[in-house]
Structure 1
Amino acid sequence: MKSPAFEISITGSYYSLLLPEKIVKPFLEKKLKRVKAKASFQGKELEFHAAIQKRNGQHYMMFGKRYQKELGIFPNDYFKLQFFEDTSKYGVEMPEELDAVLLSDYDAHEIFESFTDGKKRGLIYAISRYKNSQTRIDKSLILCENLKRGLRDNRILLKSD
């Protein structure tokens, strides 16, 4: 499932997009609040995962500064956006390093899988933000050890003693 590409600009707060009802309706009718999105502007393209959120009867999507900077978009710029059904397991791409570490540690994997979808995504994002593969491996190992020690606070899960 995919939407047609449509033009949009950043509205109100610099981090949200007001989404056309005709675009989001087919996704919401299928109970798909998480989507994969493709944004393009002046020859640059960016794919990312997003959530369709409802506020005051209208649908929005967050579009952070990092994405704006990557595409070179400023408020009042119009750019193309297209939605696709998100078929990923967690609603976000799982880093290979975290996946491998979790698969090698049954107890930590079971604890991870017991979390809410939002908490899982938060931990995945926390590992994903590291650019270096070895750092992602190291942080994944620390995460697993801390999970098995009973820690659940995201602020300390990636820290070693």
Structure 2
Amino acid sequence: MTAHSIYPTTPKDPVVENQYLKEQLASAMKLISQLNTGESPQAKEHIYLYTERRLQKVSFKDINWIQSERNYVTIYTEHGYLTVHQPISRIEELLPQSSFSRIHKSFIVANDKIDFIGKDQVGLKSDQHTKILPLGAQYKKSFIQLFKQAPLKRNSLYT
């Protein structure tokens, strides 16, 4: 018996091969698009941040707002706050864009914690009090676009 008789000698079907290549290409394109949007195939619900000489797990659902001062960022959560040595832009990259919004050069807010949006401010309801944060002119237009579908009494916010 020769080695040639063990292996099939019929040519490969180009239609089947093309379908396999199309499936591989579609899968690769999906992964590339997820990388471009900053989302992972398995959406994360938390991040780990280095603070106080340890890695601390922070759940996205617990974050109320984030405030920066130079290269330090303070993350205010339901359970208190923690400070990390990172620029706010790096923290912003780690957060899901659908859940958090940059409202000022020094502030990021959790969209689901917003109580009201004023002309130049954003109110966050926290326990029994409301925290007022500034709404920067540079971020105002894109921030308001997220909430444009919500009914508002006056259109002065959009200008």
Normalised TM-score (structure 1) = 0.20
Structure with bigger strand share is 2
Bigger Cα Rg: 2
Structure with bigger helix share is 1
Bigger RCO of structures 1 and 2 (CA < 8 A, at least 6 apart): 1
